[in-house]
Amino acid sequence: MTNFNEEKQIITALYQDLEKAAPDGTQTVLERYYAANHIWRGYHPFDEIRGAALVADRFWAPLKTALPHMQRRQDVFMAGRNEMDGFASVWGVSMGHLMGLFDAPWLGIAPTGKLVMLRYCEFNKVENGQITETAMYFDLPHLMMQAGLQPFPPQTGAHMVQPGPAPHDGLMFTPQPEPEGEKTLAAINNMISDLGQWDSGLSLEDELRQSWHEDMLWWGPAGIGATYTIPRYAKQHSGPFRAGFTDRSKTYHICRLAEGHYGGFFGWPNFTATPTGGFMGMPATSKPGEFRVIDIYRRDGDKLAENWIFIDLLHFWKQQGVDILARMAEVPHT
């Protein structure tokens, strides 16, 4: 058993203190846990922020003002050593929803006075008892859709508040057997090797079958949606995605880890690609765009069974000249 108890306790304490804090108290909380040189990487329009004071001022205080009585409802909580730096650093990962009452405007989006759930996934690097780096991606278009807005054309997958893992065993507050994490990381790396080439010579479905269970669940971001089984995933996301882009770069991750039957990664960006037209109903451009992505996986046996995906689509499309957030901020909710 590899013990990440100290790192998990620090992150859990941060979450507990953040949940209790009033909006104007978030800076004090973050300063207690964040190192002086802390780097925070977030979904557009937040991008990269340095230091607890700015993270509180730009993100947490406005969000907690907009969503009072906010709760963090976790579906996955894990920690592990980062393969991307030779397993030198330890990162913790939390995934789930931030739930609250949408009672005040946020980022120009009109409040509904109703319950909303903001999908999120957060990676935290812990060094010497402090958090030195954070990557927090959240599904802002999903929140827009809950507020009655339609930021994108009709998506190919299903729209829903997404559930956690089927076995309900993703909250790993205690140490997990190390061999299980090694198997999960190997399965993720095999998948990256299989699917990162786009030229295996196999049909897309057979290529997917090398890494995925036949009844795989792919919990995609709003604008794409969720899809189920290899044939439907190939039809509703993977096939259209490959057809809609060219000049895909190599993949780069800042962190990739696993614990137990779960693992994941993020990049800043993960890769770049150029739209050839059609994907998400958008036109072709000549502009390479960045894909900032978090993927969280559940392994079952020697293959992957579930995948939760966070893609900063607002950042990608803004690079293509389409400011989705500005458009939606001008539209009243229905």
Position 144 scores a pLDDT of 96
CATH at 117: 3.10.450.50
pLDDT band at 200 (very low <50, low <70, confident <90, very high): low
Least confident interval from 20-24, 89-93, 165-169, 190-194: 190-194
Position 2 scores a pLDDT of 76
Domain co-membership, 83 together with 189: no
Section 210-234 average pLDDT: 96
pLDDT band at 279 (very low <50, low <70, confident <90, very high): confident
Least confident interval from 83-97, 145-159, 287-301: 145-159
pLDDT band at 196 (very low <50, low <70, confident <90, very high): low
Question: How far apart (Å, rounded) are the C-alpha atoms in residues 30 and 20?
Answer: 13
Domain co-membership, 91 together with 185: no
User: Cβ distance 181 to 258 under 8 Å?
Assistant: yes
User: Cβ distance 287 to 315 under 8 Å?
Assistant: no
171 belongs to a structural domain: no
Decide which of 146, 168, 186 is a domain's last residue.
146
Which amino acid does the sequence have at 212? W
Domain co-membership, 213 together with 311: yes
Name 21's Cβ contacts closer than 8 Å, sequence gap at least 6.
28, 29, 64
199 belongs to a structural domain: yes
Least confident interval from 32-41, 89-98, 323-332: 323-332
- The fraction of the chain above a pLDDT of 90, given in percent, is 83
List, edge to edge, every strand of the sheet that includes 34-42.
48-50, 34-42, 130-138, 115-127, 90-101, 71-81
126 belongs to a structural domain: yes
pLDDT reading at 332 higher than 70: no
Tens digit of pLDDT for each residue in 53-105? 999 999 999 999 999 999 999 999 999 999 999 999 999 999 999 999 999 99
Domain co-membership, 140 together with 185: no
Among 272, 239, 30, residue whose Cα is nearest residue 132: 30
CA-only gyration radius of the chain, Å = 19
Position 331 scores a pLDDT of 64
Domain co-membership, 207 together with 126: no
Position 131 scores a pLDDT of 98
Position 40 scores a pLDDT of 98
Position 111 scores a pLDDT of 97
158 belongs to a structural domain: no
DSSP 54-69: HHIIIIIHHHHHHSTT
Domain enclosing residue 260, as ranges: 178-329
Domain co-membership, 102 together with 208: no
287 belongs to a structural domain: yes
Section 139-152 average pLDDT: 95
Domain co-membership, 100 together with 188: no
End-to-end CA distance of the chain: 52
Position 333 scores a pLDDT of 52
Note the pTM of the prediction, 2 decimals: 0.95
b/e per residue, 176-194, with b = 16+ CB within 10 A? beeeebebbbebbbebbeb
Domain co-membership, 187 together with 323: yes
Mean pLDDT of the chain: 94
The total number of structural domains in the chain stands at 2
Domain co-membership, 14 together with 98: yes
Domain co-membership, 137 together with 192: no
Position 197 scores a pLDDT of 56
pLDDT reading at 228 higher than 60: yes
pLDDT reading at 1 higher than 70: no
Position 248 scores a pLDDT of 86
Question: How far apart (Å, rounded) are the C-alpha atoms in residues 184 and 193?
Answer: 14
Position 163 scores a pLDDT of 94
Position 147 scores a pLDDT of 95
Domain co-membership, 114 together with 215: no
Position 247 scores a pLDDT of 87
Question: How far apart (Å, rounded) are the C-alpha atoms in residues 123 and 79?
Answer: 9
170 belongs to a structural domain: no
Section 217-233 average pLDDT: 96
